[in-house]
């Protein structure tokens, strides 16, 4: 697992360099965003639609790396905007002529949608819907003539439909098929293993840790999306899913070879050459079958190394061979529309209340000041107002930083480039370059991607102020002031009104992940174990991200450093334990190991006490492991020791 950003050596500069380093597919995705933004901006200029900056900006929200997700987003948004405009029109007919009723309607809509965003499956969309409805009511309240209001609603639908239409055409014609993306990523991981076997380096080991850390969840997601695409045969998807499982096992085996000592050069060479040939087939869009790999005997090697080599060979030979059909466990009960604690946990209503207080306060501020140019303070509250203090503070820092960088780039273009732009082609170049740079940042990890969104928005506000170049600096000045005011409002309500530490959810998530690890231990080694392991790795990655966010919390709200360190260590040992389980084959102590993991999970939830005799960390460090069984036991003891003496539950979090 990757270390949290706060723990990395080199400080902010090293972290920024890591976040901006090229990754597979990053530049291609940035170019896709830039092309769609450029075409949308030119179309807005030609047809003189209002808010061309917003229209071009929407392209960033409407597109994912693969075309299937992008097309779903684009179709859903177009239909959703039409429905929302109907809701706005119906509400406006009741409250438009009365300012107090309009404020009440904005407040009620905000409370309702933010509550749904916290307590239902509408979490990704509900806050944005509440923001759009509230902002639309505000804009309609500034219109004095009914015909102008109708025209404004139609233009609203148009500037949403325009980037959606451009994106649909681009994705149908040039979008990347999710199956091809999955095979390309599998090929990259196999080549990584081959290179590590040939000549291991610290950079390659770090890349292996990152690839192993996500458990192949994104690959499996792409393969699920491929079902909706035409021309993909179900048997191919079965074999590619097995390839994803086999690749995860190969990664775990190669990772375990490092502490066990390198195998003989001939074994490493034969394995690397085979992996390279398999990667070439995957890179071309196919998948390898009937793989033959005969390795020389390594009878005098350490048991751990021989087990790792045997596991890697087993996964290579059966790379795309479907696992034997096994009895499926009883299907898990699916949750309803609302979360299980939607009506019992006050946190949901508290979240809706405090963000609504911030948003409505900002709305009243710019309304009373008659300063509509700073309306971004209202929008900012919904963008950066998240469930915990850490998430909100991180988001507002990224929003402000991205806006400053984007505004600086936009002002440079406005002052030194736009005066020389005399054609549509020149405008397209300016927009393309600005969107390309911001898109490259947005295509990065979640820790920095939001900066790219804000960069492009501020850049477009400077360069796309209307159908023709406009050199009025007040627009970007007012927008930046609005962003600052919104950030201040959200920070105040998040840290003063029912502050919620991100630590509240760490123990619950860790408990669920430990139970998933127990399921992986019990699963058959050549069957569903890799799929169970994918869920474990994904859970650990989420927990690690949450622990990294804790540094954004003010000290009175943040959990204690000892508590945070214990969870970081637990995540590391749980990941090592999962890797050893993948390599081990049959785990003889599976029932006992599963019970110990369940006991730890229950303790984290505060339902039972921890074992009083858990060994301290120092007592189990430094002991070399000679087999996968010893690795499993060693890391299980380390996991128990890390969590011993650290109370479960979230009672410490405000």
Higher pLDDT: 520 or 124? It is 520
Question: Quick one: pLDDT band at residue 316, thresholds 50, 70, 90?
Answer: very high
Residue 111 has pLDDT above 60, yes or no: yes
Instruction: Tell me the per-residue pLDDT of 291-307, one tens digit each, with 9 for 90 and over.
Output: 988 888 887 888 888 89
Residue 387 has pLDDT above 90, yes or no: no
**Cα 64 to Cα 72, 446, 451, 458, distances in angstroms:** 10, 13, 17, 21
According to the model, what pLDDT value does residue 9 have? Answer: 45
Question: Quick one: pLDDT band at residue 357, thresholds 50, 70, 90?
Answer: very high
Between 39-53, 273-287, 629-643, the lowest mean confidence (pLDDT) is in: 39-53
Between 150-164, 236-250, 373-387, the lowest mean confidence (pLDDT) is in: 150-164
According to the model, what pLDDT value does residue 651 have? Answer: 39
Spatial CB neighbours of 196, under 8 Å, sequence gap ≥ 6: 204, 205, 208, 254
According to the model, what pLDDT value does residue 596 have? Answer: 93
Question: Quick one: pLDDT band at residue 624, thresholds 50, 70, 90?
Answer: low
Across the range 119-128, mean pLDDT stands at 82
Q: Kindly tell me the burial class for residue 171, based on how many C-beta atoms sit within 10 Å of its own C-beta (0-12, 13-18, 19 or more).
A: buried
**Cα 596 to Cα 112, 392, 599, 610, 633, distances in angstroms:** 42, 36, 5, 10, 11
Across the range 260-281, mean pLDDT stands at 91
The 8-class DSSP code of residue 373 comes to: G
Residue 361 has pLDDT above 90, yes or no: yes
According to the model, what pLDDT value does residue 599 have? Answer: 92
Domain ranges of the chain: 23-176+346-496, 178-317, 503-643
Instruction: Tell me the per-residue pLDDT of 182-210, one tens digit each, with 9 for 90 and over.
Output: 999 999 999 999 999 998 899 899 899 98
Tokens 């080991």 belong to 205
Sign of the Cα torsion 546, 509, 491, 108 reads positive
Higher pLDDT: 567 or 418? It is 567
The mean pLDDT of the chain is: 85
| Residue 375 · residue 387 · CB < 8 Å | no
Across the range 119-127, mean pLDDT stands at 82
* Cα–Cα distance, 63 to 25 (Å, whole number): 14
| Residue 583 · residue 252 · CB < 8 Å | yes
Question: Quick one: pLDDT band at residue 8, thresholds 50, 70, 90?
Answer: very low
According to the model, what pLDDT value does residue 4 have? Answer: 40
* Cα–Cα distance, 461 to 403 (Å, whole number): 10
Tokens 């969104």 belong to 453
According to the model, what pLDDT value does residue 131 have? Answer: 84
Residue 614 has pLDDT above 60, yes or no: no
**Sequential DSSP letters for 58-82:** HHHHS--SSHHHHHHHHHHHHHHHH
Question: Quick one: pLDDT band at residue 654, thresholds 50, 70, 90?
Answer: very low
Instruction: Among 57-61, 141-145, 168-172, name the most confident range.
Output: 168-172
CA atoms within 13 A on the CB side of 572: 13
Residue 480 has pLDDT above 80, yes or no: yes
- Residues 461, 463, 466: CA angle, nearest 5 degrees: 80
Question: Quick one: pLDDT band at residue 6, thresholds 50, 70, 90?
Answer: very low
Residue 146 has pLDDT above 90, yes or no: no
Across the range 629-638, mean pLDDT stands at 90
According to the model, what pLDDT value does residue 616 have? Answer: 41
According to the model, what pLDDT value does residue 649 have? Answer: 44
According to the model, what pLDDT value does residue 90 have? Answer: 83
pTM of the complete model = 0.85
The 8-class DSSP code of residue 93 comes to: H
Higher pLDDT: 116 or 470? It is 116
Give long-range contacts, CB 8 A cutoff, 24+ apart: 107-116.
Answer: 107/356, 107/360, 109/133, 109/134, 109/137, 110/134, 110/352, 110/355, 110/356, 110/359, 110/360, 111/352, 111/353, 111/356, 112/352, 114/351, 114/352, 114/355, 114/356, 114/385, 115/348, 115/349, 115/351, 115/352
Across the range 302-313, mean pLDDT stands at 90
* Cα–Cα distance, 495 to 483 (Å, whole number): 18
Instruction: Tell me the per-residue pLDDT of 447-469, one tens digit each, with 9 for 90 and over.
Output: 899 999 989 988 988 888 665 55
* Cα–Cα distance, 245 to 107 (Å, whole number): 49
Query: Rounded to the nearest 5°, which phi and psi values hold at 296?
Result: -65, 160
According to the model, what pLDDT value does residue 474 have? Answer: 80
**Cα 560 to Cα 568, 569, 617, 648, distances in angstroms:** 13, 14, 19, 13
Token output for 45: 């200029």
Residue 566 has pLDDT above 60, yes or no: yes
Q: Cα Rg for the chain, rounded, in angstroms?
A: 27
Residue 93 has pLDDT above 90, yes or no: no
Across the range 97-112, mean pLDDT stands at 89
Instruction: Among 153-162, 300-309, 539-548, 553-562, name the most confident range.
Output: 539-548
According to the model, what pLDDT value does residue 250 have? Answer: 95
Residue 526 has pLDDT above 90, yes or no: no
Question: Quick one: pLDDT band at residue 10, thresholds 50, 70, 90?
Answer: low
Higher pLDDT: 144 or 602? It is 602
Among left, alpha and beta (phi > 0; psi -120 to 50; other), residue 11 is left
According to the model, what pLDDT value does residue 536 have? Answer: 94
């Amino acid at each position: 697992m990757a270390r949290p950003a706060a723990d990395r050596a080199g400080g902010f500069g090293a972290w920024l360099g890591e976040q901006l380093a090229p990754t597979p597919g990053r530049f291609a995705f940035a170019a896709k965003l830039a092309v769609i933004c450029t075409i949308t901006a030119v179309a807005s200029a030609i047809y003189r639609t209002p808010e061309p900056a917003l229209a071009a900006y929407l392209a960033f929200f409407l597109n994912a790396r693969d075309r299937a997700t992008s097309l779903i987003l684009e179709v859903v948004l177009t239909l959703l905007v039409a429905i929302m405009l109907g809701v706005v029109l119906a509400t406006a007919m009741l409250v438009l002529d009365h300012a107090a009723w309009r404020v009440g309607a904005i407040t009620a809509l905000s409370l309702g949608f933010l509550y749904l965003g916290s307590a239902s499956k509408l979490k990704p969309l509900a806050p944005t819907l509440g923001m759009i409805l509230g902002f639309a009511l505000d804009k309609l309240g500034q219109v004095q003539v009914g015909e102008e209001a109708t025209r404004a609603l139609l233009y609203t639908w148009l500037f949403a439909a325009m980037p959606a239409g451009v994106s649909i055409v681009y994705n149908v014609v040039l979008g990347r098929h999710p199956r091809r993306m999955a095979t390309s990523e599998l090929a990259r991981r196999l080549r990584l293993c081959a290179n590590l076997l040939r000549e291991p380096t610290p950079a390659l080991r770090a890349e292996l840790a990152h690839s192993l850390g996500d458990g192949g969840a994104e690959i499996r997601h792409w393969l699920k999306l491929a079902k909706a695409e035409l021309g993909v045969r179900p048997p191919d998807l079965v074999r590619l899913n097995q390839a994803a499982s086999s690749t995860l096992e190969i990664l775990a085996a190669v990772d375990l070879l490092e502490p066990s000592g390198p195998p003989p050069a001939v074994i490493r060479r034969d394995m690397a050459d085979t992996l390279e040939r398999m990667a070439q087939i995957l890179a071309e869009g196919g998948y390898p079958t009937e793989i033959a790999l005969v390795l020389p005997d390594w009878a005098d090697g350490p048991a751990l190394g021989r087990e790792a080599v045997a596991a890697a060979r087993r996964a290579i030979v059966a790379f795309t061979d479907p696992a034997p059909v096994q009895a499926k466990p009883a299907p898990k009960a699916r949750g309803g529309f609302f979360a299980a604690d939607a009506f019992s946990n006050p946190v949901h209503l508290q979240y809706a209340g405090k963000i609504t207080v911030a948003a409505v306060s900002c709305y009243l501020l710019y309304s009373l000041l008659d300063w509509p140019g700073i309306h971004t303070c209202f929008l900012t509250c919904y963008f950066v107002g998240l469930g915990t203090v850490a998430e909100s503070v991180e988001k507002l820092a990224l929003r402000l930083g991205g806006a400053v960088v984007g505004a600086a780039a936009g002002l440079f273009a406005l002052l030194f480039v736009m005066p020389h732009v005399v054609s549509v082609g020149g405008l397209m170049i300016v927009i393309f370059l600005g969107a390309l740079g911001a898109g490259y940042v947005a295509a990065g990890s979640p820790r920095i991607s939001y900066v790219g969104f804000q960069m492009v928005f501020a850049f477009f506000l400077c360069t796309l102020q209307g159908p023709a170049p406009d050199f009025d600096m007040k627009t970007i000045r007012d927008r930046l002031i609005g962003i600052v005011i919104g950030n201040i409002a959200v920070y105040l309500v998040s840290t003063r009104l029912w502050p919620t530490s991100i630590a509240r959810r760490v123990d619950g998530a860790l408990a669920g992940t430990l139970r998933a690890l127990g399921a992986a231990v019990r699963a058959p080694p050549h069957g569903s174990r890799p799929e169970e392991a994918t869920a474990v790795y994904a859970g650990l990655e989420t927990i690690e991200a949450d622990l990294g966010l804790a540094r954004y919390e003010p000290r009175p709200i943040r959990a204690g450093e000892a508590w945070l360190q214990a969870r970081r260590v637990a995540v590391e040992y749980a990941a090592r334990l999962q890797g050893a389980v993948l390599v081990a084959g049959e785990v003889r102590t599976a029932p006992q190991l599963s019970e110990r993991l369940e006991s730890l999970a229950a303790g984290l939830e505060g339902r039972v006490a921890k074992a009083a005799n858990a060994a301290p960390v120092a007592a189990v460090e430094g002991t070399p492991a000679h087999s996968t069984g010893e690795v499993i036991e060693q890391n299980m003891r380390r996991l128990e020791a890390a969590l011993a003496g650290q109370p479960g539950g979230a009672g410490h979090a405000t």
